[in-house]
């Protein structure tokens, strides 16, 4: 099945998600992040197979469904499933964890292809959903006419359409942000940024660094955010009007220059090669006070909210991702809607699965707000989600800045639709630029070359 992407970029209030998130903000990148890993290093075992109820005795049999997702069960999904199971004793859901990385997505795809029981599953990137649609493993939801996804989720949801159809419901809002140690900002007389640039972020990092504290920490995925956000207005696929790659541009060069200056001139950011070698847990660096700022997605709420395992004695503030230059009028913040819940067309219980999808999107996912995931449905009160998110830890946040970024900012958001192969191939270029084997100009041209080669290959 060949899909055709249809996108509409809409201005939406910046609210959390890693990835999508980036995400997983969900994300890196995107976010991404969102495009983002949802954390954790181990996945749950394969789901237990459920016996099919006989048609003759359907009233006595309990329908059993499995839902696969990338968020650790303890970060909200299990509570959501438990809530459903209490309300619907005749339709019971089992949550199965898969890690949202290449290996984890392969595990899910293998389960879909091999016929294991996967009734519902989450998608965290357009490219992975597209592949599943092409393989016939995602149900076309147009047959369910009583639920208007565009009305419920807003026009930003349309970025997930293929051939004008939905093959899943995007259930959360998310983006990429800069997390700030407000106590450190206060000590330097620095305000929480509301609209800033990469140069501003560099200046902050330089003022906030010390012998034992980095000014900024940032994962690989987020280096691309400012670059992608400078291109998305013209094309979510990162191309020029003639269909060629748009990565060879001054914004790409400028982004590389600023990060290199932070690593090697200011020494306010850990050099990329050192970060690859040491593999630090960046979220833990932040809560331990080892970095004053952290560029990431909403997934970090899992750590900042967990004062038992990660105690901290400072307030957390939030700022939007920085633009490349102050005069950019077409900057699109990387983020939007994510956590797309799909139904396996091979499920024996598609109607029951659909009932769960609607419930989850409109009310059921509220427990996931504890981990930073804000619901996208207009039927679920965002203020209530924020209340759940910070319950018991309100005093440890600068809530004005957090709410301003998550709920009040009228900023344009969109999801990058750069294909997965190109995104993966780009990492080699980032590694070479940040290890000073390529200049920023050379890196910009190399990104465009790789992208153009992949565009040509895809067109054959």
Alpha-carbon dihedral angle through residues 298, 403, 295, 247, given to the nearest 10 degrees: 90
pLDDT band at 1, cuts 50/70/90? very low
Report the candidate in 2, 61, 36 with the shortest Cα–Cα distance to residue 415.
36
pLDDT band at 127, cuts 50/70/90? confident
**42/19 Cα distance (integer angstroms):** 17
pLDDT band at 235, cuts 50/70/90? confident
Q: Above 60 in pLDDT, residue 55?
A: no
Query: What is the per-residue pLDDT for 11?
Result: 33
Report the candidate in 40, 21, 41 with the shortest Cα–Cα distance to residue 31.
21
Handedness of CA 390, 395, 397, 401 (dihedral sign): positive
Q: Which two tokens stand for residue 332?
A: 């699109």
In the three-class reduction of DSSP (H, G, I as helix; E, B as strand; rest coil), residue 261 is classed as: helix
Q: Above 90 in pLDDT, residue 92?
A: yes
**Peptide bond preceding 102: is omega within 30 degrees of 0, i.e. cis?**
no
In order of their start, the domains of the chain are 63-172+337-395 (3.40.190.10), 174-333+414-459 (3.40.190.10)
Q: Above 80 in pLDDT, residue 313?
A: yes
Confirm if 18 and 371 have CB atoms less than 8 A apart: no
- How many other C-beta atoms lie within 10 A of the C-beta of residue 433? 26
Report the candidate in 409, 414, 226 with the shortest Cα–Cα distance to residue 336.
414
pTM of the complete model: 0.76
Query: What is the per-residue pLDDT for 383?
Result: 80
Segment 318-351, tens digit of pLDDT: 999 999 999 988 888 887 889 999 999 999 999 9
Buried b (16+ CB within 10 A) or exposed e, 184-199: bbeeeebebbeebbbb
**87/367 Cα distance (integer angstroms):** 15
Segment 174-195, tens digit of pLDDT: 888 999 999 999 999 999 999 9
- Mean pLDDT over the full length of the chain: 86
Segment 346-389, tens digit of pLDDT: 999 999 999 999 999 999 999 998 877 889 898 988 788 888 88
Dihedrals phi, psi of 300, to nearest 5 degrees: -70, -20
Q: What is the largest CA-CA distance in the chain?
A: 75
Instruction: Taking residues 419-430, report their average pLDDT.
Output: 91
CA angle 294–297–302, rounded 5-degree value: 90
Q: Above 80 in pLDDT, residue 286?
A: yes
Which residues in 162-222 belong to E strands, given as ranges? 169-181, 217-218
**178/294 Cα distance (integer angstroms):** 6
């Amino acid at each position: 099945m060949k899909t055709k992407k249809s996108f509409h970029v809409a201005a939406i209030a910046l609210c959390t998600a890693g990835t999508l998130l980036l995400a997983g903000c969900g994300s890196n990148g995107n976010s991404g992040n969102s495009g983002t890993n949802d954390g954790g290093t181990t996945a749950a075992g394969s789901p237990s197979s459920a016996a099919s109820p006989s048609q003759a005795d359907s009233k006595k049999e309990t329908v059993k469904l499995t839902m696969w997702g990338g968020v650790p069960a303890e970060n909200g999904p299990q509570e959501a499933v438990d809530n459903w199971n209490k309300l619907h004793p005749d339709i019971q859901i089992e949550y199965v964890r898969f890690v949202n990385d290449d290996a984890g997505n392969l595990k899910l795809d293998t389960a879909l292809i091999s016929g294991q029981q996967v009734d519902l599953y989450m998608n965290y990137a357009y490219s992975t959903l597209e592949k599943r649609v092409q393989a016939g493993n995602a149900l076309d939801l147009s047959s369910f006419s009583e639920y208007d996804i565009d009305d419920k989720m807003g026009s930003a949801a349309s970025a997930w359409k293929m051939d004008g159809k939905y093959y899943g419901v995007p259930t959360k809002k998310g983006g990429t942000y800069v997390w700030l140690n407000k106590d450190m900002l206060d000590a330097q007389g620095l305000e929480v940024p509301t609209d800033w640039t990469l140069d501003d972020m560099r200046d902050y990092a330089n003022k906030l660094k010390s012998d034992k504290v980095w000014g900024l920490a940032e994962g690989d995925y987020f280096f691309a955010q400012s670059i992608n956000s400078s291109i998305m207005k013209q094309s979510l696929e990162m191309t020029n009007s003639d269909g060629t790659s748009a990565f060879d541009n001054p914004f790409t060069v400028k982004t590389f220059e600023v990060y290199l200056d932070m690593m090697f001139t200011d020494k306010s950011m850990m050099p990329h090669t050192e970060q690859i070698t040491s593999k630090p847990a960046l979220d833990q660096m932040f809560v331990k006070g080892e970095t004053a700022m952290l560029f990431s997605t909403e997934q970090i709420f899992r750590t900042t909210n967990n004062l038992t395992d990660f105690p901290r004695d400072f307030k957390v503030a939030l700022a939007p991702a920085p633009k490349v230059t102050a005069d950019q009028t077409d900057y699109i913040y990387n983020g939007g809607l994510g956590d797309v819940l799909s139904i396996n067309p091979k499920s024996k219980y598609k109607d029951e699965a659909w009932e769960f999808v609607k419930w989850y999107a409109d009310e059921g996912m509220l427990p996931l707000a504890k981990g930073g995931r804000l619901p996208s449905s207009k039927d679920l009160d965002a203020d209530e989600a924020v209340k759940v998110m910070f319950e018991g830890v309100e005093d440890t946040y600068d809530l004005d800045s957090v709410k301003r970024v998550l709920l009040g900012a009228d900023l344009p958001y969109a999801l990058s639709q750069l294909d997965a192969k190109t995104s993966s191939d780009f990492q080699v270029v980032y590694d070479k630029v940040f290890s000073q084997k390529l200049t920023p100009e050379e890196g910009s041209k190399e990104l465009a070359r790789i992208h153009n080669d992949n565009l040509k290959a895809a067109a054959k």
